[in-house]
């Protein structure tokens, strides 16, 4: 009964005899199958080595597609229950379609996949019996996941409307020179005040904007607002400050990114040196043209900041290959700095590393005086965090410069 069928030789349509194995749990998934005729049994083995039948599939059913979609090994085995005729679907056929699919569709697909996989795993562990209660819980779990995906779809359309209705507002978090205690710049952090949802975290809506490309018009609008803000600050306070703007991977890999940024900056009174681009380490890893684009930005005079360094791949070759001006020390290394020797060593090493490479350092997430004192003693150049101020609307940020309250700390 357990002879395994060799599909690689015979394709695209095949007939199998009852009992023949189509694939086994743990196999690499190379094909998906459509049943043209006959029945296929999908099963898994419990921890006690018992075979658990998950499903009997019939003519017209598709199976084996899960492993093609996410590249993981087969989570169940498939046997011909009767003589069967199959149409074979290659991984290329599935993969290219998924790659081209709408991001929300991809998300839904992943949700469904996760559900299937966790169900097979649960049955295999043999810990749960498939009684009425389990079925109901499973159904609820599935519905919860689908409704989460639907919430995201809704949020996406609301985000589009929010942008049109001016519900997105740039906030400005001061960056302090740790030698002079003066505000020298601000990081622009986007806020979404929704009349129905309240304050939506950028941790939620930024990835959504990125996955739908809405981040491109949002990013351009943000730069426009940022340039106006620098001009207004200059007019009202006579300070020439810089703005640190977060740039998503989607933006860097967008062909017109630099042209558009250049022309907006050239049309203003702001110098390129006043707009710092904060780029996440992982964006460089994933973006295809990142290298040339990032260096072109720098050639134009835009300083580059490597954001959250050390939290991703901590790939030192980025520091070697890209010309960064500033390293941003992630708040995860700062938040326990006063209590943790390890954090202290990490911060010291990062500061020494950037000093040695002629870069400046900004520590983010400074929440108390102790953290500030330690960072200052380590030679960190700039600081940012709630100890100084959270991100503020422009008028309040201007007030803060006018008073330079920070000077008294």
Where along the sequence are the contacts to ligand C2E (CB under 6 A)?
173, 188-190, 201-203, 206, 222, 246-248, 307-308, 331, 364-367, 385-386, 391
Least gap, CB of 205 to Ca ion (angstroms): 15
Instruction: Tell me: does residue 307 bind Ca ion (CB under 5 A).
Output: yes
The residue at minimum Cβ distance from Ca ion is 278
Instruction: Tell me: does residue 308 bind Ca ion (CB under 5 A).
Output: yes
First CA to last CA across the chain, in angstroms? 79
Under rule CB under 5 A, which residues in 229-268 are in contact with Ca ion? Answer: 246
Report how far Cα 195 is from the mean position of its chain's Cα atoms: 26
User: What are φ and ψ of residue 270, in 5° steps?
Assistant: -85, 140
Nearer to Ca ion, 249 or 278 (CB): 278
How deeply is 269 buried, as exposed, middle or buried, from its count of CB atoms within 10 A (0-12, 13-18, 19+)?
exposed
The DSSP call for residue 99 is: H
How deeply is 61 buried, as exposed, middle or buried, from its count of CB atoms within 10 A (0-12, 13-18, 19+)?
middle
Q: 306 contacts which partner out of ligand C2E, Ca ion, none, CB within 5 to 8 A by kind?
A: none
* Angle, helices 103-125/132-164, rounded to nearest 10 degrees: 160
Least gap, CB of 187 to Ca ion (angstroms): 6
Q: 319 contacts which partner out of Ca ion, ligand C2E, none, CB within 5 to 8 A by kind?
A: none
Sign of the dihedral through C-alpha 291, 294, 297, 301: negative
The residue at minimum Cβ distance from ligand C2E is 385
Instruction: Tell me: does residue 283 bind Ca ion (CB under 5 A).
Output: no
User: Is the distance from CB of 60 to CB of 102 less than 8 angstroms?
Assistant: no
Length of the chain in residues, anyone?
409
The region of 4-12, 148-156, 300-308, 317-325 touching Ca ion under the rule CB under 5 A is: 300-308
Least gap, CB of 280 to ligand C2E (angstroms): 7
Q: 67 contacts which partner out of Ca ion, ligand C2E, none, CB within 5 to 8 A by kind?
A: none
Report the distance separating Cα 216 and Cα 206, nearest Å: 11
Nearer to Ca ion, 246 or 283 (CB): 246
Least gap, CB of 365 to ligand C2E (angstroms): 4
Binding site for Ca ion (CB under 5 A): 246, 278, 307-308
């Amino acid at each position: 009964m357990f002879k395994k069928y060799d599909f690689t030789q015979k394709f695209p349509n095949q007939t199998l005899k009852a009992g023949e194995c189509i694939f086994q749990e743990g196999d690499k998934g190379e094909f998906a199958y459509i049943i043209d005729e006959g029945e296929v049994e999908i099963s898994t083995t419990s921890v006690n080595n018992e075979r658990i039948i998950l499903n009997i599939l019939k003519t017209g059913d598709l199976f084996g597609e899960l492993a093609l979609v996410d590249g993981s090994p087969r989570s169940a085995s498939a046997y011909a229950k009767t003589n069967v005729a199959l149409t074979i679907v290659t991984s290329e056929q599935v993969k290219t379609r998924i790659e081209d699919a709408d991001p929300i569709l991809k998300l839904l697909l992943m949700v469904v996949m996760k559900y299937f996989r966790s169900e097979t795993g649960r049955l295999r562990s043999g810990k749960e019996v498939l009684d009425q209660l389990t079925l109901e819980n499973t159904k609820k779990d599935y519905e919860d996941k689908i409704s989460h995906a639907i919430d995201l779809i809704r949020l996406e359309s609301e985000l589009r409307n929010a942008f049109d209705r001016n519900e997105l507002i740039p906030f400005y978090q001061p960056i302090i020179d740790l030698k002079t205690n003066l505000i020298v710049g601000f990081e622009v952090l986007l806020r979404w005040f929704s009349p129905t949802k309240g304050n939506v975290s950028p941790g939620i809506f930024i990835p959504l904007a990125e996955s739908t490309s809405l981040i491109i018009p949002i990013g351009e609008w943000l730069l426009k607002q940022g340039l106006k803000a620098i001009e207004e600050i200059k007019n009202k306070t006579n300070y020439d400050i810089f703005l640190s703007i977060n740039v998503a991977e989607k933006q860097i890999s967008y062909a017109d990114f630099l042209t558009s940024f250049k022309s907006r900056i050239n049309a203003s009174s702001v110098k390129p040196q006043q707009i710092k681009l904060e780029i996440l380490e992982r964006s460089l890893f994933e973006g295809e043209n990142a290298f040339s684009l990032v260096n072109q930005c720098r050639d134009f005079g835009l300083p580059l900041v490597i954001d959250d360094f050390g939290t991703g791949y901590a790939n030192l070759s980025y520091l070697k290959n890209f010309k960064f001006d500033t390293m941003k020390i992630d708040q995860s290394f700062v938040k326990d700095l006063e209590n943790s020797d390890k954090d202290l060593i990490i911060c010291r090493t990062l500061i020494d590393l950037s000093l040695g490479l002629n870069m400046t350092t900004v520590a983010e997430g400074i929440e108390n005086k102790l953290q500030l004192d330690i960072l200052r003693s380590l030679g960190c150049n700039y600081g940012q965090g709630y100890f100084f101020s959270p991100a503020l609307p422009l008028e309040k940020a201007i007030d803060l410069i006018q008073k330079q309250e920070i000077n008294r700390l």
